[in-house]
Amino acid sequence: MQLFELAYSALTSNDIGDKLQLTHCLFDEIQNTEPNLNQSESIKEITTPGRPNKPKLVSYQTTPKRDRSDLGMIKTIHSICHIEFNAINLALDAFYRFQTMPTQYYVDWAKVAHEEALHFTMLNDYLEELGYQYGDFDAHNGLWEMTVETDYDVLARMALVPRVLEARGLDVTPSIQIKFRKSKFIKMADILEVIFQDEIGHVKIGNYWYKYLCKERNLESIKTFDSLIKKHVGKSLRGPFNWEARLLSDFTEAELNYLEHANRERTN
């Protein structure tokens, strides 16, 4: 199958099992065969990706805060599972939507989608061990909303999805791991370590392609990033920032100093 068609089929599938299978198939095809990357005649707008009927999607502002009770911790696991499900769709859309990039771009984003599918499976399997499953609790749709906002330009997508949304995971995951290690759900800390290490690679991919595009368009990367943050986020990014993990994912010290300075201005 033509790979953009395969990515579209995975992206729009409402069945979790089919979405996972198609996503892994996309990865296998681009790894093991001569990739068929002929452009689609028209790239379809996707306001809502394929997803099951549950979880019910609610606004972020109305999502209740989760406490450290057993049920609260299980709801946190479910929330992370939902993030990883969304991340599959984000990576598939990055593959499908921008069809004039170098071949390595598609190899990279097929790998990201494949790994996000593995993360989702690990988390959903653990939920089932605990007597629950994906869809049992409400969730929000903030990650996909940013995907729709940036569907006009691959540079905006690379700037704001991997470098903002996924990079935020690098900042907060270590503290979440500590909470799980102090609970009866210690297995979750080990699952998060796998996800954390993979996410460093995902953010690194986003950084590579963002800087590639800035260089191609003769744009200064920090000023361009700042303008995109102001356009789509409206305020500076919230810290604290995990410098070690962000440096491993190829943020520069200059970029991190920019983030820290903007964050200080935001909080003063």
Q: Is 58 part of a structural domain of the chain? A: no
Q: Is 46 part of a structural domain of the chain? A: no
Q: Is 61 part of a structural domain of the chain? A: no
Q: Is 201 part of a structural domain of the chain? A: yes
Number of domains in the chain: 1
**119: CATH:** 1.20.1260
State which residues form the domain around 102: 3-40+68-267
| Predicted confidence (pLDDT) at residue 230 exceeds the cutoff of 80 | yes
pLDDT reported for residue 62:
57
DSSP letter (8 states) at residue 57 = B
Q: Is 60 part of a structural domain of the chain? A: no
**SS3 state at 139:** strand
pLDDT classification of 1: cutoffs 50, 70, 90: low
Q: Is 28 part of a structural domain of the chain? A: yes
pLDDT reported for residue 243:
97
| Predicted confidence (pLDDT) at residue 59 exceeds the cutoff of 90 | no
How many CB atoms within 10 Å of residue 29? 17
The chain-wide mean pLDDT, for the chain, equals 93
**Alpha helix segments (H runs only) across the chain:** 3-12, 16-32, 70-97, 103-129, 142-149, 154-160, 167-181, 187-216, 221-232, 243-248, 253-267
Share of the chain above pLDDT 70, in %: 96
Nearest to 155 by CA among 222, 212, 106, 105: 212
Q: Whole-model pTM? A: 0.95
Across 88-105, average pLDDT: 97
Residue with tokens 């049992």: 136
| Predicted confidence (pLDDT) at residue 141 exceeds the cutoff of 90 | no
